[in-house]
Amino acid sequence: MVKTPDELALMRVSGKLLASVFEMLDEQDLVGQSTLQINDLVDRFISVDLAARPASKGQYGFKHALNCSINHVVCHGIPDPNEIIRDGDIVNFDITLEKNGFIADSSKTYLVGNAAPAARKLVRVAQEAMWQGIRQVRPGAHIGDIGHAIERHAKKHGYVIVREYCGHGIGRDMHEEPQVLNFGRPGSGVKLREGMVFTVEPMVNQGTRKVATAEDGWTVVTTDGKLSAQFEHTVAVTKAGVDVLTLRRDERTLLMAG
């Protein structure tokens, strides 16, 4: 679970490149585009502009460079030429990138056009919940501290955490130990050590936490049809606390805020 300084240096490269993918997406007008168009844009940007590899492509038989999850889709949405992003939607793009043998993983939920106030609040709280979890990361802390902080923040605002999916260790492989649950008890679980690298990725629902998988075997949805939002970063435990490897330019002030 612990990376060497040289491995961490390579992971920082992958993380910085992945952050640039989201910075590119931030400049796109998503309204009217299909989710497959966004997938193809990201695929080309990673492969051509960044000379890297979309790590999700071919993983577990998945054929695309990203997952795209709109509104009531919790995670693992499949890019589709017939699925059009519309004004008022919320859409999560979950993207992985491999460079020099090491993988970074991140996701962001976008507010599309004139999203309703309730949708805006959900997205804001989901992002805040992720940061509440990340702020717990330091040597000597425990995995349970992360999950407890995430769920406490979501509950405070009247939302629930999806329990079937969680963060995970990452490095040469997409999914490594430890599992990073988005709920838990303070002081429980694996003790964090300098050099550990993992993702923090809460999925926050408006209504029930119950989810179901569609017939395609991938797409996970809320069972009540209400909205779900997710944010994710790849983080490393450092001597001083935490290094967010996939941090974007627009987030520089968020780590220490609140």
Asked if the peptide bond before residue 178 counts as cis, ω within 30 degrees of 0, the response is yes
Mean pLDDT of 116-131: 98
Task: Report the pLDDT value the prediction gives residue 135, as an integer from 0 to 100.
Answer: 97
Q: What is the mean pLDDT of the chain?
A: 96
pLDDT for the residue 255: 59
- Give the list of residues 6+ apart from residue 223 with CB closer than 8 angstroms, or none: 208, 210, 211, 212
Q: For 82-106, what is each residue's pLDDT tens digit?
A: 999 999 999 999 999 999 999 999 9
Q: Cα–Cα–Cα angle for 155, 160, 166, nearest 5°? A: 115
Q: What is the pLDDT confidence band of residue 256, given thresholds at 50, 70 and 90?
A: low
pLDDT of res. 216: 93
Residue 114's pLDDT is 95
What is the rounded average pLDDT of the residues 153-159? 98
Determine the pLDDT at residue 250.
83
* CA pair distance 98, 67, nearest whole angstrom: 16
pLDDT at 99: 98
| DSSP secondary structure letters along 55-103 | TTTTGGG--SSEEEEETTEEE-PPP-TT-B--TT-EEEEEEEEEETTEE
At 236-252, the pLDDT tens digits run 999 999 999 999 988 87
Sequence-separated (6 or more) residues with CB below 8 Å from residue 112: 30, 31, 85, 86, 87, 88, 89, 90, 91
DSSP lists the bridge partners of residue 221 as: 73, 212
Closest by CA to 142, choosing from 182, 186, 199, 197, is 186
User: Are the C-beta atoms of 99 and 49 separated by less than 8 Å?
Assistant: no
* Rounded mean pLDDT, 44-58: 97
CA distance 30 to 62: 23
- This prediction has a pTM of 0.95
The pLDDT, as a whole number, for residue 257 is 57
Q: Among residues of the chain, what percentage have pLDDT more than 90?
A: 94
Statement: residue 12 has pLDDT above 70: yes
Which residues, 6 or more positions from 20, have their beta carbon under 8 angstroms from its beta carbon?
A: 50
Quickly state the pLDDT bin for 26 (edges 50, 70, 90).
very high
Q: At what angle do helices 117-134 and 143-156 cross, to 10 degrees?
A: 160
- Residue 232's pLDDT band (boundaries 50, 70, 90)? very high
Altogether, the residues listed in the chain come to a count of 258
